[in-house]
């Protein structure tokens, strides 16, 4: 008796589940016009439903996961045949999501620049996934900022104010010495060299954003800065690609750091390596960071204004020991260490090289550099609108060639044409 009641309940549950999913898909609030255009484009190319474009990993998304990944896309569900709808039955929209969030550090005055970034991220990706977005600020966000960003993000937004002690000089910093450095850097016209707030920002992004109470609720993050652009549809879930391929950190652009901002960062990194050999695994990316077996730093770093990464790694003892060692040496204030070289040296030393992923499929711009996939097929399949000539990957100032070489990865056909 109890058994058959349970079965009836299960059937009813499943039936209403399907109805709800059907209702959500067909009453999608996505405007008609873009959907129609998108559908047209889809028909011309390989149908996205049967043959979703895969990431740069060859096949980052195992076949079993493909349906789930495609499931939350309203555009597909609304026009797909009945079987495709039915395949949603046991993978509710909620359960396909990763434990992940977007994260943005911003000032109230960054509102319209971050609005631009959000629109890009939503149009190219998140409108189909509805991931949350955490906004952090050293001051309280104002109503206007909250109102506009809440309206733009398709997931849930959260707003956090950074505690004073994470956005000020630690007591072990000699303020006079720090001030002299800023005056000197101002004279030498080093970019942001005279800025106090930029230094707080770099230190916060290096050591504290992932420890905010709001960030403790997540395992994965995707960092987004104001005024960035995405140029291709992202038809896979980068968080899932990371998880399923055991990745911890990722990048789209890499380059050489401005040497004057980090004269002694490598001394601190070496001090860390000596003090904590247990945190340095075999098969890391030291070779990408150093051309002389660790004696000196070649200044290569991943550009951290874009990052998809694992928060548990940043919260690990290894990373925290690394940050602590660097922080105590004072270079965030006595020099002008950026969070990009800090994250990059950490990723290069603490992770195995297979744990770092180059997201070729995520075409991206942050002034002044562009990552645009070299492969024309990729650009067409994903409706990219970047000019391949602008691709920075293979130019002299990029470190991405070195990354490919260290990993024995084959560069995409036609890369020579984008070299300068
Ligand atoms: N709350 C807050 N956020 C800041 C502050 N300074 C920078 N940020 C944020 O920190 C991130 C990095 O700052 P940017 O000014 O973009 O630094 P950048 O990318 O090195 O330089 P740009 O070329 O100017 O973009 C961005 O998300 C900014 O919005 C600040 O004083 N307060
Ligand atoms: C539903 O999904 C869960 C979790 O993925 C799985 O364990 C279960 O077997 C599925 N049920 C059916 C009827 O497919
Ligand atoms: C969904 O339902 C269909 C038809 O009943 C079934 O063939 C399929 O296995 C189901 N999928 C899941 C994930 O339960
Ligand atoms: C997401 O990850 C955080 C951090 O590891 C964890 O505390 C939380 O329970 C996770 N949430 C879910 C729904 O798994
Ligand atoms: Mg920026």
**Pocket residue to mutate for ligand 3, from 86, 88, 92, 96, most atoms within 8 A of Cβ:** 86
In this prediction, residues 342-365 reach a mean pLDDT of 98
Whether 307 is catalytic is yes
What is the pLDDT at residue 24? 37
In this prediction, residues 394-412 reach a mean pLDDT of 97
- Ligand 1 centroid from CA 387, angstroms: 26
Strands 300-302, 254-256: pairing is antiparallel
For ligand 1, atom 32: residue with the closest CA: 107
- Ligand 3 centroid from CA 88, angstroms: 8
DSSP 385: -
CA distances from 356 to 31, 152, 219, 274, 364 (A): 38, 31, 16, 23, 18
Ligand 1 atom index nearest CA of 104: 27
- Ligand 2 centroid from CA 71, angstroms: 15
Q: Which residue among 68, 307, 355, 381 is the active-site one?
A: 307
Q: Residue 138 in contact with residue 162, Cβ under 8 Å?
A: yes
* Backbone angles phi and psi of 228, in degrees to 5: -100, 165
Task: From 220, 59, 245, select the one nearest 131 (Cα to Cα).
Answer: 220
Tens digit of each residue's pLDDT (9 = 90 or more) over 250-301:
999 999 999 999 999 999 999 999 999 999 999 999 999 999 999 999 999 9
- The angle that helices 196-207 and 317-329 make with each other, rounded to 10 degrees, is 160
Question: Residues 226, 227, 231, 235: what is their CA dihedral angle, to the nearest 10 degrees?
Answer: 20
Residue ranges lining ligand 1, Cβ < 6 Å = 104-107, 110, 137-138, 197, 201, 225-226, 305, 367
Ligand 4 atom index nearest CA of 312: 5
**Pocket residue to mutate for ligand 4, from 217, 243, 313, 314, most atoms within 8 A of Cβ:** 217
Category of 396 on φ-ψ map: left (φ > 0), alpha (ψ -120 to 50) or beta: alpha
What are the helix (H) ranges across 45-163?
A: 63-70, 74-79, 82-86, 111-124, 143-152
Tens digit of each residue's pLDDT (9 = 90 or more) over 157-210:
999 999 999 999 999 999 999 999 999 999 999 999 999 999 999 999 999 999
Return the minimum-mean-pLDDT range out of 6-20, 23-37, 218-232, 344-358: 23-37
Q: Which residues pair with 133 in a beta bridge?
A: 102, 157
For ligand 4, atom 1: residue with the closest CA: 218
**Mean pLDDT, the chain, as a whole number?**
83
* Locus of tokens 């050591």: 207
Residue ranges lining ligand 3, Cβ < 6 Å = 86-87, 89-91
What is the pLDDT at residue 278? 98
- Ligand 1 centroid from CA 206, angstroms: 13
For ligand 3, atom 5: residue with the closest CA: 86
Residues 6+ apart with CB under 8 A from 15: none
Tens digit of each residue's pLDDT (9 = 90 or more) over 66-117:
333 333 333 333 333 333 333 333 333 445 789 999 999 999 999 999 999 9
């Amino acid at each position: 008796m109890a058994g058959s009641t349970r079965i009836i309940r299960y059937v009813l549950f499943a039936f209403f589940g399907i109805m709800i999913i059907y209702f959500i898909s067909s009453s999608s609030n996505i405007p008609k016009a873009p959907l129609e255009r998108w559908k047209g484009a889809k028909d011309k190319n390989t149908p996205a439903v049967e043959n979703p474009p895969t990431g740069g990993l060859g096949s980052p998304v195992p076949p079993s996961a493909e349906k789930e990944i495609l499931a939350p896309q309203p555009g597909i569900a609304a026009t797909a045949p009945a079987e495709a709808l039915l395949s949603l039955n046991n993978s509710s929209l909620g359960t396909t999501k990763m434990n992940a969030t977007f994260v943005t550090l911003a000032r109230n005055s960054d509102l319209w620049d971050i609005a631009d970034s959000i629109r890009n991220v939503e149009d190219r990706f998140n409108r189909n996934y509805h991931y949350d977005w955490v906004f952090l600020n050293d001051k309280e966000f104002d109503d206007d900022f909250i109102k506009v960003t809440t309206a733009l993000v398709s997931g849930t937004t959260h707003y956090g104010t950074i505690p004073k002690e994470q956005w000020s000089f630690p007591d072990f910093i000699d303020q006079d010495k720090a001030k002299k450095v800023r005056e000197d850097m101002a004279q030498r016209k080093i970019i942001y060299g005279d800025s106090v707030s930029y230094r707080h920002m770099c230190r916060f992004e290096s050591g504290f954003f992932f420890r905010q109470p709001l960030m403790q609720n997540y395992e994965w993050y995707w960092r987004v800065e104001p005024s960035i652009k995405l140029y291709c549809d992202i038809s896979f879930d980068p968080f899932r690609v990371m998880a399923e391929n055991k990745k911890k950190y990722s990048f789209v652009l890499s380059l050489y750091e401005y040497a004057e901002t980090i004269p002694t960062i490598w001394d601190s990194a070496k001090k860390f390596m000596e003090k904590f050999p247990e945190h340095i695994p075999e098969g890391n990316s030291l070779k990408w960071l150093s051309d002389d077996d660790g004696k000196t730093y070649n200044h290569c770093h991943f550009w951290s204004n874009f990052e998809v990464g694992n928060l548990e790694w940043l919260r690990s003892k290894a990373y925290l020991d690394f940050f602590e060692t660097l922080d105590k040496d004072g270079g965030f204030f006595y020099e002008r260490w950026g969070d990009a070289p800090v994250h990059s040296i950490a990723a290069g030393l603490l992770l195995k090289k297979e744990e770092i992923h180059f997201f070729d499929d995520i075409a991206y711009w942050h002034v002044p550099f562009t990552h645009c996939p070299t492969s024309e097929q990729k650009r067409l399949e994903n409706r990219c609108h970047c000019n391949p000539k602008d691709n920075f990957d293979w130019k002299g100032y990029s470190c991405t060639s070195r990354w490919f070489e260290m990993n024995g990865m084959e560069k995409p056909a036609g890369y020579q044409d984008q070299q300068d």
